[in-house]
Amino acid sequence: MQEKMADKNLTLLEEFILLGFSELPDVQGLLFVLFLVIYISILLGNGLIIVITNMEPALQIPMYYFLGNFSFVEICYTSVTLPRMLMNLWRQKRNISLLLCAVQLCFFLILGVTESLLLVVMAYDRYVAICKPLSYPLIMNYKMCVQMVIGSWLIGIPFLTGQTYQVFSVPFCGSKKLNHFFCDMPPLKKLACRDTSGDEFFIYIDCFLFGLIPFLLILLSYIRILSTILKLPSTTGRSKAFSTCSSHLIVVCLFYGSGFIAYLQSKSSYSGRTDKVFSLFYAVVIPMINPMIYSLRNKDFIEAIRKLFSKYVSKE
């Protein structure tokens, strides 16, 4: 009789309650303002990169073409989670339907994989530019650049759509409370009421395909880049090459480091508080600091901003 009632309760599950930061009731308003400022800065910072890389003739090269696309992905990536989180903080109404939760997770995973693959593409671009400079215009032609960007967007879609279906095909039981600020895979696994070890295997496969392999490819690219840079006779040349690559390398370490920690933990070792911290890092903090990392460390980009600002002021 109890089993029948449990099955009935499972079929009636239509929504989750995103706990978010409900354990901090006294600072909900402050958190709303903080994350609103962060979201606006993400939109403005990454939007500025898109505008500059498209308007400035000096930046019409593959490196900045990929950077503009990466910034667009960052805007989409954060827009999947932050507006909903802001609405929950403002209205104090944290419920989300099962369908919307699945849609949010699916888009979050697809955009995360797109970002991961674009980081590989950007590393490959730097590898060709530094290690094969004479062949660079031939290899990194416009058609190749467009194909790599489209591939980064499309490759993960069938895998991640299937992964999302697999996550939501598992019955959920017990509390409807999701100890997170958006529908992410680790807290959803925690609420599953059957053994998810088989599902975790497929999650590890996806992490291997779209996380570990891209990371190793980037690492291999930078080993070759470093070897080439150290052979350069000019100190100025070495300094410029290091400066060009260091920004990308910082983003790679931050993105993959926090993502691996969050997704490679088992269901039994899951900690809601720890996972929220790392999720905030790769879903909110990194997209916020990326524009600063790429622009403030890049003299060409700073010069392009100065030119655009000068044109705007002269028109006034």
Encode pLDDT of 76-120 as tens digits: 999 999 999 999 888 877 888 888 999 999 999 999 999 999 999
Give yes or no for a contact between 252 and 286, defined as CB atoms under 8 angstroms apart.
no
What pLDDT is stored for residue 174 in this prediction?
65
Residue 28 confidence class, pLDDT cut points 50, 70, 90: confident
Query: Which residue has better confidence, 291 or 107?
Result: 107
Residue 2 confidence class, pLDDT cut points 50, 70, 90: very low
Angle (nearest 5°) at CA 174 between 168 and 179: 70
Structure-token match 């031939």, residue found: 138
Give yes or no for a contact between 49 and 296, defined as CB atoms under 8 angstroms apart.
no
Closest CA to 209 of 112, 311, 130: 112
Asked whether the predicted pLDDT for residue 41 surpasses 70, the reply is: yes
Asked whether the predicted pLDDT for residue 241 surpasses 70, the reply is: no
Percent of the chain with pLDDT over 70: 84
Residue 11 confidence class, pLDDT cut points 50, 70, 90: very low
The one-letter amino acid code at 170 reads V
Structure-token match 């509390």, residue found: 175
Asked whether the predicted pLDDT for residue 278 surpasses 70, the reply is: yes
Give yes or no for a contact between 260 and 211, defined as CB atoms under 8 angstroms apart.
yes
pLDDT average, residue stretch 283-312: 77
Element (H, E) at 226: helix 213-230
Asked whether the predicted pLDDT for residue 270 surpasses 60, the reply is: no
In the chain, where the domains are located:
2-315
- Separation of first and last alpha carbons in the chain: 77
What pLDDT is stored for residue 266 in this prediction?
56
Burial of 106 (0-12, 13-18, 19+ CB in 10 A): buried
Domain 2-315 coded CATH 1.20.1070.10: yes
pLDDT average, residue stretch 290-314: 74
Averaged confidence pLDDT in the chain: 81
pLDDT average, residue stretch 154-180: 84
3-state secondary structure at position 169: coil
